[in-house]
Amino acid sequence: MSQTPTVGQTVHYVSYGTPGGEYPSVCRAAIVTEVSSYAPPQHADDDMQARCHLAVMNPTGMFFNEVDYGPQNVPGTWHWPESVDEPGQVEPEPEVWNPYRERAALVAYLAAVYPSAIVPNADPDEPNWPVIYVTTPQGQLSWHLSSDDLDLFPHVPVLDADQSPAWDGHTTAEKYERLARLVEAVSNVPGKA
Ligand SMILES: [Zn+2]
């Protein structure tokens, strides 16, 4: 892409996910409020260097930040929106390693082994992230799922919040302690739990 950033353009800002991985890094809408520095690509394969002030619009609020242009999968950078940067020319999304999809695939296996339910609106703070509850002999486990990964869960019923098991209050640390105890119980090998 050789497009030059200018004030007022709509771009994508790559959010930081939470350290525990409950919320993945995603593209957010952002508007260029100032171009701090710009250098065009030096070679055909290079990217431009472009540091911009952005007004980043999250679903729940805005913030302002100065960030560098970068690849689509690097948190804390901006890039052109994936499919609208040049009318008539749609660039495919690059195949990037997606650890959240890999995690979702493992959760799908757990959900095939133990009674489970997906609740679309379980977390009022994150209405776009369905929650899966897995009921194991060591207690409840739960994860937020990306709607992009729901195709991995055709075997799990999708329930309204009033029909489903409620979150039992476990923390992320307790969840992984339960998972470790489950590994111990299934493998008969004492672990770190
Ligand atoms: Zn993007």
Ranges of each domain in the chain? 10-79, 99-187
- On the question of pLDDT at 2 being above 70, the answer is no
pLDDT at 161: 80
Ligand 1 centroid to Cα of residue 13, in Å, is 7
Ligand 1 centroid to Cα of residue 101, in Å, is 17
Q: Tens of pLDDT along 62-111?
A: 999 999 999 888 999 999 998 754 555 555 666 677 888 899 999 999 99
Ligand 1 centroid to Cα of residue 132, in Å, is 26
Ligand 1 centroid to Cα of residue 89, in Å, is 16
Q: Tens of pLDDT along 142-190?
A: 999 998 899 999 999 999 888 888 889 999 999 999 999 999 999 988 8
Name the residue type at position 78: W
180, with CB counted inside 10 A (0-12, 13-18, 19+), is middle
Ligand 1 centroid to Cα of residue 97, in Å, is 15
| pTM listed for this prediction | 0.51
Ligand 1 centroid to Cα of residue 93, in Å, is 9
74, two tokens:
């690097």
In DSSP terms, 117 is beta-bridged to 133
In DSSP terms, 61 is beta-bridged to 58
User: 184: part of which helix (H) or strand (E)?
Assistant: helix 172-187
Residues 143, 107: contact at Cβ < 8 Å? yes
Ligand 1 centroid to Cα of residue 90, in Å, is 13
